[in-house]
Amino acid sequence: MAINRPPIVKIGAGRFSTVLRVDDPHRGESIAEKKIHTSTSGLGIQSLKGALRELFILRLLSHHPNIIDLFDHRFEGHCLVLQLRLYDMDLDSLMDRNPPLPQSLIKLICRDILNGLSFVHDAGIMHRDLKPGNILLDGDGRVVLCDFGLARASGEEKECIPPITREVATRWYQSPEILLGTEVQTSSCDIWAAACILCEMYRGQPLIAGQTDIQQLFLLYKRFGGSPLVVPRKDRPTDLLGDDLRYWPAATLLPDYGKIPFARDAVESEQSWSVRLAADIPRLPPTALPMLAGAFRYDPRLRYTHARQMLESEFFDNCQGSIATALADYLRDSEAKPPPPVEDPWEDSFDSECSFFHQPN
C-alpha cells in the first residue's frame, strides 16, 4: 500500500540549518520547519548551543504579534526541528517589485518591525541579524521578526558571542563597531540595522552595499561624511541635527580601527550628512531625519539603544491604517521584477581612491 507523505519543499538554508515548507495534517495548513544541524564535536558544539538558545528565545518571545510563532519543537538525531508559522514573503521579496513601496505602507511596516524589536529589547535580548530577509509578512497584514540564531542576551560575556557571519547581505546592515571588530556588542547594533532597512524601503536599494568589510567601511564613511572623529572639531560647523554623527572617541581602541587609513581624509565632506541623505532619498520624509540622527551615530554609546526610542519619533505621528489592506492594494497594483545589480553612487570612487595608495615597503 502506498503511503501518503506530506509534501515537503525546501525554502531556505543557512550555515547550520535548512528551512522546509511542510503540510501539517494536524493543523490543516502548511508550516515552516527549521532543521538546525547539531553535533557534539567541533563546530557542532557551537551550533548545538545556538540551537538551544534560539529555542529558548523563541519560547520566550513568540507570543508577541510581531515575532514569528513557534508551534512546537522536536529532536531528530542531530537536528533540532523548530515548527514555525509559514508566511507568504519576506521584506526582501516585497521590495523587489515595481513600483516602489508606497510611503504609507513603509511607515506601517516600519512601525511593526520596531514594535517587535522593542519587545525583544524589553526582554534584554539583541537580535544581531536584523535584515529584510529576516522580516516576514503575510496577506493578513502580519509583520514579524524571525531567525534568532545569532540573538544574544545583553551583557553576555564576550567569549560567549561568536563573530557575526560575513555574508554580503548581512554586512550591509552591520554597525561601525561590528565592522571594526568590537568584542562588546549592545542592542544599538539592532538600531543601526533598523535605520538601514527604513532607508532601503524608501530608496529602493540598500543604503550601504559594500562587497567586503573594507569597502563597507569606506562607503559608510562616504555616506556620513568621513571616518570617526576621536576629538571634537572646533573648525567645523555643527551638524544641522546636532553634534556630528562621527564623534566617537573610543573608536581608536577597536581592533580594526586602522583597517582603512587611506579613507580618513579622502572621504571627508563639509556637507551635512542629512542634506546628502535627503538628496539621495527624495521620498524620505523630513520627520525621519531626527530619528535617523539618533540611529546612525557612530558611537554605540551615543546611538539609540532601544527600538522604543525610534517609535517615539515624530515620524510615526498619525501612523494609522491597515497593513493588510495597504499590502493587498500594493500587491494588486505592482509586479515582481528581476533583481537588479546593486549599485552605489560611490562604488567607482572606491577604486579610484585606492589607486592613490600602496603597501609600504
Residue for grid cell 530608496: 203
Q: Are 224 and 266 in contact (CB under 8 A)?
A: no
Q: For the stretch 212-237, what's the b/e string if a residue is b when 16 or more beta carbons lie within 10 angstroms of its beta carbon?
A: ebbbbbbbbbbbbbbbbbeeeeeeee
Cell numbers of 106, please? 513603509
- Relative to beta strand 29-37, strand 79-85 is antiparallel
* C-alpha to C-alpha distance for 134 and 144, rounded to whole angstroms: 8
Q: Name residue 109's amino acid.
A: I
Q: Which three cell numbers stand for residue 182?
A: 568590537
Catalytic residue (choose from 129, 147, 239, 244): 129
Q: Centre a 10 Å sphere on the Cβ of residue 109 and count the other Cβ atoms it contains.
A: 24
193-196: long-range contacts at Cβ-Cβ below 8 A with a sequence spacing of 24 or more? 193/127, 193/130, 193/131, 194/110, 194/113, 194/114, 194/117, 194/130, 194/295, 194/307, 194/310, 195/291, 195/292, 195/295, 195/296, 195/310, 196/172
| Rounded Cα distance, 315 and 338, in Å | 32
For the question of residue 190 being annotated catalytic, the response is no
**Grid cell locating 61:** 518571545
Q: What torsion do the CA atoms of 191, 186, 226, 341 make, to the nearest 10 degrees?
A: -50
User: What positions carry a catalytic annotation?
Assistant: 129
